[in-house]
Chain A
Amino acid sequence: MKILVTIKRVEDYESKIKVKPDGTWIVTDGVNYRANPFDEIAVEEALRLRDANMPSEVIAVSVGSELSVNEIRSALAMGADKGILVKQAGWVDSDAVARCLQKVIEREKPDLVLMGKQAVDVDDNVTGQLLAEYLGWGQATFASKHESLESAEEKAKKPGVKLAADKASVEVIREIDGGLETLSVKLPAIVTVDLRLNVPRYASLPNIMKAKKKPVEELDPKALGVDVTPKVKVLKVEPPPARAAGIKVPDVAALVQKLHSDAKVI
């Protein structure tokens, strides 16, 4: 089984994010970068599926600047077999990413593509869906599972996305409003993963040392025939409004009054 998994370089959510004074973007100086946490869940799921269905292969793909090779190496250090970087400096919108991935996928012909449901930088949540459309493949978004992240199944690193016995489809349990929905998706397919699918493994020291010997191929969007000129334009970036200081109310009656007249919640 050939599994392709995407991994994006994003701002570390533990970094303090400040908006540039001119409102064009965020201040990137002093910000740490890391792999998108949802993508790490996708990598973990890919590794579990691989290990449960040997022989299999996991390819980690990123679209971004040359620095994104770091995040590909992170996936390799977790255990992925090889990497592909579609190198493009500067802002690339989700649609361009989807079209780059389409070309890579047409070349690599994976059986399954696993992706984070969204990247925690811009929270678009569209790349997986666009990609499925461009490829004409089936998709299952927000993959989750019944078992909790403390369950024995999780500790045994069992895949939550299950490959059918005939290997022609996968069963995906997805998070929907008010519950879970089970889908069967014909392969090849796009599956995007949600937060409660698994706990990503640590990059072990032996795997870190092996990772540097694994190949990472670099591709150019132009050579793939993809025009990455953004269709989405960032007009303005602004911080969320600062939280106003709280107030103290003398009694319950005053609280109810405030909730009704000021907060308008009752």
Chain B
Amino acid sequence: MDFSLNDDQQRLIATARKFTKEKIIPVAQKLDEHGTFPSEICKEGWELGLMNGEVPQEYGGLGLSTLDHVLMQEEINFGCAGIGTTLAGNNLAAMPLILAGTEEQKKNYLGQLTDSCSFAAYACSEPDAGSDVAGMRTTVRKVGDEWILNGIKRWITNGAYANWYTTFARTGDATDRHKGITCFVVPRDLPGVSVGRKEDKLGQRASNTCDIIYEDVKLTKAHLVGAEGQGFKVAMKTFDRSRPWIAAGATGIMRRALEECTKYATERKAFGQAIGQFQAIQFMLADMAMKYEATRLLMLKAAWNIGQGKLDAIESAYAKAFGADSAMQVATDAVQIFGGYGYTKEYPVEKLMRDAKLLQIYEGTSQIQRMVIGRSLIAAASAGV
């Protein structure tokens, strides 16, 4: 067992950390306040290779391992989780194509992301289907050689900026549940594709989140990703790959909270001494540090597993659920340590708390993660493993 990071990893961390310190932290609060999309940061980040990390080298990407990717993402999320989500968005949209797309699709769509700074979005959730992916209502009707797509997708990250959408839709009957779901890549310039309203969110406000509306969009076989009826599987495999990224969001937020709090605890005085001298504060800091360390280990293990060629749902779910819940707790405690100041926008910890909340919701809520974990445990026991 070796926990040391190699030279390349240390170097990519150094670049991401410097970029975060110099480019993200100085503007994060302002972008958050106005809900401004971080276009400039994306452009610079794209040039440095911070946007399409897991796109394979054959298609112009870096082909980073999940391990390298999460190390980089932790640094970005230390600065701003909203910007972290924005920069990671392309990887999520690309993953179904990486896993199940044709050579043609990979060359065309992944190539677009690596040719110039552009965006793609993952479109799965709907107004009436979030956790219940199999309950989606967006439909695709087959007419001759074509498919006609209709429906609304909601909470789509980078939706307003994306040039194409990795879209999940129902090809079968509603009663088919998950067996009737198929994945398509939908270029934004197809007739019938439009961008709906932008969400005004609690946190991660620099990240763009909006509705995507499909009205009689004509698709062909060229848009089909994977086999018909295999969409649910593709979506789930994508999440197995992407959930460690959310753990990276959590480690970034927690490390920031810890850094802000330890600094504040040595400066702020009460009852004649620095508040860091009080055991009540020290215990909170200790719990925060333990949660950060534990999440980081789960994240690294899940990412390492993926690097070993094991797409292990349960490992990714551990990291995602524990990380998200820990980040929420740690950020809430950070506000507590800052007291009245923590509740104001004068200090950065209230933003950490707002940003952390989303980690428990997107890419499978903390409850869904527990379902994944629980079912895996029961299935293993039933199979006598």
Residues of A in contact with B (beta carbons under 8 Å apart): 70, 73-74, 77, 202-206, 208-209, 211-212
Contacts and interface: CB of A to CB of B under 8 A. Distances in A.
A208 B11 contact: yes
Interface stretch (B48-56, B292-300, B346-354): B48-56
14 contacts: A74-B11, A202-B15, A202-B48, A203-B11, A203-B15, A204-B47, A205-B48, A205-B49, A205-B72, A206-B49, A208-B11, A208-B15, A209-B62, A211-B11
Contact of A212 (B8, B47, B72): B8
Interface of B: 7-8, 11-12, 14-15, 18-19, 47-50, 53, 62, 64, 72
A73 B7 contact: yes
A202 B19 CA distance: 8
Contact of A208 (B8, B18, B47): B8
Contacts of B12: 205, 208
Nearest to B72: A205
B384 to A, nearest CB: 45
With most chain B CB atoms within 10 A of its CB, the pick from A74, A77, A211 is: A77
A203 B14 contact: yes
A205 B53 contact: yes
Q: Which of A73, A74, A209 has the most CB of B within 10 A?
A: A209
A202 B18 contact: yes
Nearest to A69: B7
A208 B6 CA distance: 12
Contacts of B49: 204-206
Most buried by B among A73, A77, A202, A204: A202
Contacts of B19: 202
A205 B7 contact: no
Contacts of B8: 208-209, 212
A204 B15 contact: yes
Instruction: Sort A-B residue pairs by CB-CB distance and give the 8 closest, nearest first.
Output: A205-B49, A204-B48, A208-B11, A206-B49, A202-B15, A203-B15, A204-B49, A202-B48
A206 B62 contact: yes
A77 B11 contact: yes
A208 B15 CA distance: 9
Nearest to A73: B7
A108 to B, nearest CB: 25
B48 A73 contact: no
Contacts of A208: 8, 11-12, 15
Contacts of A77: 11
Given A73-B7, A212-B7, A212-B8, A205 B50 contact: yes
Nearest to A203: B15
Contacts of B72: 205
A203 B8 CA distance: 11
Which of A204, A205, A212 has the most chain B CB atoms inside 10 A of its CB? A205
Nearest to B46: A204
A74 B11 CA distance: 8
Determine which residue in A73, A204, A208 has the highest number of CB atoms from chain B within 10 A of its CB, and name it. Answer: A208
A157 B254 CA distance: 37
A209 B18 CA distance: 18
Contacts of B50: 205
Nearest to A208: B11
Contacts of A209: 8, 62
A206 B62 CA distance: 7
Contacts of B64: 205
Nearest to B50: A205
Contacts of A202: 15, 18-19, 48
Nearest to B7: A73
Given A205-B12, A208-B11, A208-B12, 15 more contacts: A74-B11, A77-B11, A202-B15, A202-B19, A202-B48, A203-B11, A203-B15, A204-B15, A204-B48, A205-B48, A205-B50, A205-B62, A205-B72, A206-B62, A212-B7
Contacts of A73: 7, 11
A155 to B, nearest CB: 11
Contacts of B62: 205-206, 209
B84 to A, nearest CB: 16
A36 to B, nearest CB: 15
Nearest to B10: A70
Contacts of A205: 12, 15, 48-50, 53, 62, 64, 72
A47 to B, nearest CB: 14
Nearest to A212: B8
A57 to B, nearest CB: 22
A1 B7 CA distance: 30
Contacts of B7: 70, 73, 212
B365 to A, nearest CB: 32
B224 to A, nearest CB: 32
A205 B19 CA distance: 12
A64 to B, nearest CB: 17
A92 B14 CA distance: 28
A204 B52 CA distance: 13
Contacts of B14: 203
